Structure 1
Amino acid sequence: MGWKGVPRTAASAVLAGAAVLVLAAVPPAGAGPRTAAAAVAVAVRQDVSPQPPAPRLPRDFRGRGKWIVRDLDITVPFTWEGKDGDSQMTAGGPQYPIWFTNLIYRGTLYTLTYKWPGLDEHPCSRIPGFGLEDLNRGLANARFVGPETLRGTRPQRRVNHWRAGVVFPELPPGNHPRLPLALGDIYVDEHDRGTFWQVLQFGVQNLYDPELDEWLVMDTFEHRPGTVTLPRRCEPPR
């Protein structure tokens, strides 16, 4: 859920996570980050398929992978876990140049960045009134790009590619000034819309990154309960 750096609206937070929280930064097809090019290469399949159901983050899951910031040439370990509808992303750790966690916890969206190049402030930001169902309602409006194959995996993963965006202001079709605030590219297993393999995040929710884009790339994704822990710094005052 890379929602670091600015106050977030529920709409922009949807991109993460996939943003999950969710629902992750995606270059053009085949142009992966320098540090993990093979892991994020994408090939578009030519077969024409009917539109599948939209992505939906499950209540219980756990997975491991990489968080990739291409323009900073930084790749760190990444975990994404869900339990009973709460979920948590954690990238990096104390020994890495990047370390942050994003959570959906008991109906509130939290972001806490412990380490980021050039960052001196480390508050825990909160957006109340945002839970798993809010995220999934946002994902239900994603647009189907098409079936694709992720190269560099063993076996190669066949996925459905979806795109979600936040544009301001919301105006009808026509010649109106518009500002794209955020974009998410979401790659889910072709046989299971609840298995997330890659997510692109691009936009204001990635304000700490000079190019505003970040990737999450999963190596594993299991449908069994994970562990979700709210950091002490994010706990409400007693």
Structure 2
Amino acid sequence: MRHPRETMGWRGTRRAAAPAALAAVVALVLAAPPPAGATPRTAAGTPSGAASAAARQLTPPTPPVPRLPRDFRGKGKWIVRDLDITVPFTWEGRGGDSQMTAGGPQYPIWFTNLIYRDTLYTLTYKWPGLTEHDCSRIPGFGLEDLNEAFEGARFVGPETLRRTPERRVNHWRVGVVLPQLPPGNYPRLPLALGDIYVDEKNPGTFWQVLQFGVQNLYDPELDEWLVMDTFEHRPGTVTLPRRCEPPR
């Protein structure tokens, strides 16, 4: 089993989020078997085999999975509903490095997460009830590791985010469940879930993300939202906090 890693944007403890743990479960819809000796037909009299082939041709293909680009910049909000806290949020990428920043010194929540030179950093400056403010450093995690994790995402379906303006998106879900066991009656722990909403025309444009699980340990209800108002595909600014710099 690969070493547990912390996923971009998830805070609280070191979380098990190795890409191998993000196994997608493909939902299969099975038709009921016909009575013995019967030839199943559709209401129009078409043999069911031909109808199934026609239905497959009409079913739209699954869109490409989400993929965070190397260069981007966007602004929005970080929302913690159970604490009734909403703070400004920025998410920027440059040359494969990326940085999330929520809140600031004048807000009740203030943190930053970075993928910087193939290392994941998490630094929480302010959070209600928090007294620890160390910079967490997880080496060996870069942009490609994050996008590899997205490869296991499950497609939920197309949706419309009814905001101003409305956003037509594809909804994806990723999850970490431990232990990794075959189907059946086994004890399992849903460690982390993420609902990702990307633009229907560009899987590299992220409009909304819900994070739920032990990665949100600081929040009493274990869930937090990021909602983007803008997302542009041009280089942003990524700055490693001084507190996260290695000692010289």
Q: How does 1:21-170 map to 2 (within 5 A)?
A: 49-154=60-165, 156-170=166-180
Structure 1, unmatched stretches of 5+, are 16-46
Residue 8 of structure 1 and its aligned partner are, at CA, apart by 2.8
What is the alpha-carbon distance in structure 1 between the residues aligned to residue 80 and residue 11 of structure 2? 13
Q: Which residue of 2 aligns with 1:5?
A: 12
Distance verdict in 2 for CA 1:10–1:126, change over 3 Å = farther
Larger Rg: 2
Q: Which residue of 2 aligns with 1:223?
A: 233
Match of 2:18, SS state, is helix
Q: Does 1:213 align with 2:213?
A: no
Amino acid at match of 2:171: H
List, as ranges, runs of 4+ consecutive aligned residues in structure 1 with deviation greater than 4 Å.
none
Percent of pairs identical after alignment? 84
Residue 173 of structure 1 and its aligned partner are, at CA, apart by 1.0
* CA deviation map 1:11-65 (0-9, x unaligned): 39x99xxxxxxxxxxxxxxxxxxxxxxxxxxxxxxx9642101000000000000
Please give the TM-score of this superposition, normalised by the length of structure 2: 0.80
Give the conservation status (yes or no) of the 8 Å contact 1:103–1:230: yes
Please give the TM-score of this superposition, normalised by the length of structure 1: 0.83
What is the alpha-carbon distance in structure 2 between the residues aligned to residue 9 and residue 232 of structure 1? 27
Q: Does 1:174 align with 2:184?
A: yes
Alpha-carbon RMSD across the aligned residues, in angstroms, is: 1.6
Aligned residues: 205
Match of 1:111, SS state, is strand
Residue 10 of structure 1 and its aligned partner are, at CA, apart by 4.0
